[in-house]
Amino acid sequence: MTANAPHIPEPAAPGFSDSLDYVTIRIGEQLLGLPIGRVQDVFITNRITVVPRAPDEIVGLINLRGRIVTAICLRKRLGRPVEFKRGCQGSDELTAIGIDHHGEAYALIVDAVGEVIRLDRSTFEPLPVHLDRVWAALGTGIHRLADELLVVLDLDAVLDLDLRSAA
């Protein structure tokens, strides 16, 4: 693989080698794609226990069907400002995407969840060179849709929080 070649994600299921499946979400007006194979749950929560002295991206802990889940504000993780009554605070209900990462459960708090889409593998492109540095570090590539750009997130990079240095 050359340095300029995009990392093309693995197919979501056998028999669909020419397509890539994503759960779409929004942070502000930006459409983002999460590889469907990594998404465990989509849920609404309103009970989050704040963790004192946690990194800014960590909203707190959620009890999800008896499992303790670390809630991460994707808006903050992407370097976007948190708007009042929207985003990760100031609202009674938060929309979350459940993800497992190295045996730990996480909830990505997002502005909105869209739909599941299947896109042709041939439309996957490398990240644009002018993309924000934070977003570029957390993305794997893009798909140009009819009326907007879908940025595909690298969930390993998103969930790779440096908790030791934060402590």
Residue 92 pLDDT class (50, 70, 90 cuts): confident
Strands 19-27 and 112-120: antiparallel
Output DSSP code: residue 53: T
- pTM for this prediction: 0.83
Which CATH number describes the domain made up of 19-157?
Answer: 2.40.50.180
Distance from first CA to last CA of the chain, Å, rounded? 37
Q: Which of 139, 74, 153 is nearest to 106 (CA)?
A: 74
What pLDDT is attached to residue 100? Answer: 94
Q: Which two tokens stand for residue 57?
A: 């991206």
Tally of CA atoms within 13 A in the half-sphere of 2 that contains its CB: 3
Higher pLDDT, 12 or 60: 60
Mean pLDDT of 17-25: 90
What percent of the chain shows pLDDT beyond 90?
70
